[in-house]
Chain A
Amino acid sequence: MRALCWMGVNDLQVDTVPDPTIVNPHDVLLKVGLTTTCGSDLHLLGGYIPSMREGDVIGHEYMGEVVEVGPEVRRLKVGDRVVVPSFLGCGKCWYCDHDEYSLCDNTHPKPELQEPELGYPTGGIPGYTHAFGGYAGSHAEFIRVPFGDVNAFTVPEGITDEQALFLSDAVPTGYMGADFAAIQPGDTVAVWGCGAVGLMAQKSAMLMGAGRVIAIDRLPERLALARDVIGSETIDYEQSDSVVEELREFTHGIGPDACVEAVGMEAHGTGPQYAYDRVKQALHLETDRGSALREAIMAVRKGGTLSIVGVYGLMDKFPLGILMNKGITIRTSQQPGQRYMPAMLEHVQRGELDPSFLVTHRMSLEESPRGYELFKDKQDGCLRAVFKP
């Protein structure tokens, strides 16, 4: 089959690779219908997250059709149209039993690579480094999905492929971000980042009862989406002397009740702190440029909640003292999409949530390296490039 392979830092190539097969009895094989770029792929592409190997198939946000099932698969059948949350759960361990699928104890084939960094391994995820399991990714014609009955969700009639696609990662990550913000009716929620995840966090915050949602970004086309499609108020941080000051004034001196950080380790910014982060990251003295996260910590009101859904590695200059003295609650996780899938499908079916506007570029798999160029450099208004293998 054809697949998009990581061949080195900033080097992606479409290559012919072996077809996946059923390996374990609960596996299903999917013919990938749609698969999309994700901001977290850029950390692999740029070499900021280690343990990629030349030839690895990337991609972790996808939907498709079941073409083969393992002998222990009970719920799914050939021909089912499904969407798969990025992190894989087993459905049996303590974590899955408590809806913490991304922390699954039984889906990581290479825990020895991750345990030294995290203490305990997470669940596995396709296309996202060997430290996260090393499963082949979704930017391919076919993909093997372990524990298909747990991880692949049938897409109901009436939901399009493009709507279903983003229920794999962008929507559940944003939805979790809003869920973690513990929103009370009328709350003010500030969201850093107007990429797909940030936009979905904003929409989810509204669905959960936020009174005001304020979006922070620098790209005019993304701020326009936040305003026009989602209904958020916006701050262009490149046009602002101080985002923290603006948020304080927006909220009558109180500060946002909750801040959702949906930017991650490659944040852009302004000022000397940003320059410092860029230099340290370039010299591999830290993995993260944390300007958005630090700003969110400063901006959130006393006793408020900080929800972190951006992807981070190892960050220095983390202002723990501010968190402690302001009594801030932090919640963060990789997304357990299985937990949110029934609610997300319901929102889409009711017409309350339509993530298909995130698609700005539709391409074949052969064009996917170009898609990543557009996505990485944010050219041509690229919010998400979607590939149809």
Chain B
Amino acid sequence: MSVADKAKGALSKVRPGSLQASRTLPIRADKDAIERVWTSRTAEIFDGIPMATATTRYGQTVRDWGLAVTVDLTLQEAVPDVAANTLAGKAVRRLKALVETGEAPTTDRNPSGRAA
């Protein structure tokens, strides 16, 4: 077997990046409050994330951390260099921030020498 064939064989065994992922975080609010934000601020939660479908699941309340919330995310397409589960993590973090504080952290309109 040639080196090129060996390389092709190795590459064929590399798993393609998944388009589906789930991430869980506790959020300090009740289910109704979380669902209100989930449905009313979807655009902010998925800003920059090529979401095809996304749903929430609810687990137990984790001591004083809050209610365990899982975001199940399916991407329209893979994002280069960013795993799907990382993006699911970003979405659930934004949901958490919006619920707990009313806003999502952002660097929009961030001053820099690039924009000068």
Contacts and interface: CB of A to CB of B under 8 A. Distances in A.
- Looking at chain B, what size class is its interface with the partner chain? 20 to 34
Contacts, number: 114
Contact of A15 (B90, B104, B113): B113
A241 to B, nearest CB: 48
Contacts of A135: 107, 110
Interface in B59-116: 64-66, 82, 86-87, 89-90, 93, 96-97, 100-116
Interface centre among B97, B106, B112 (most CB of A within 10 A): B112
Nearest to B86: A112
A106 B114 contact: no
Interface in A20-63: 20-21, 23-26, 53-57
Interface in B1-44: 25-26, 28
B112 A55 contact: yes
Interface in A56-84: 56-57, 72
Contact of A93 (B82, B100, B107, B108): B100
Interface string A369-388: 00000000000000000000
A92 B106 contact: no
B97 A90 contact: yes
Nearest to B103: A24
Contacts of B111: 1, 3, 17-20, 57, 136, 140
A15 B116 contact: yes
- Looking at chain A, what size class is its interface with the partner chain? 35 or more
A19 B115 CA distance: 11
Given A90-B100, A111-B90, A23 B113 contact: no
A92 B64 contact: no
Contacts of A19: 111
A92 B105 contact: no
A305 interface: no
A105 interface: yes
Leading 4 A-B pairs by shortest Cβ distance: A55-B113, A55-B114, A5-B113, A106-B97
Interface of A: 1, 3, 5, 7, 13, 15-21, 23-26, 53-57, 72, 90-94, 97, 105-112, 115-116, 121, 124, 133-136, 140, 146-147
27 contacts: A15-B113, A17-B112, A18-B109, A20-B110, A24-B103, A24-B104, A25-B102, A53-B112, A54-B113, A54-B114, A56-B113, A57-B111, A57-B113, A90-B97, A90-B101, A92-B100, A92-B101, A93-B100, A94-B26, A94-B28, A97-B64, A106-B96, A106-B105, A107-B105, A109-B105, A112-B87, A133-B107
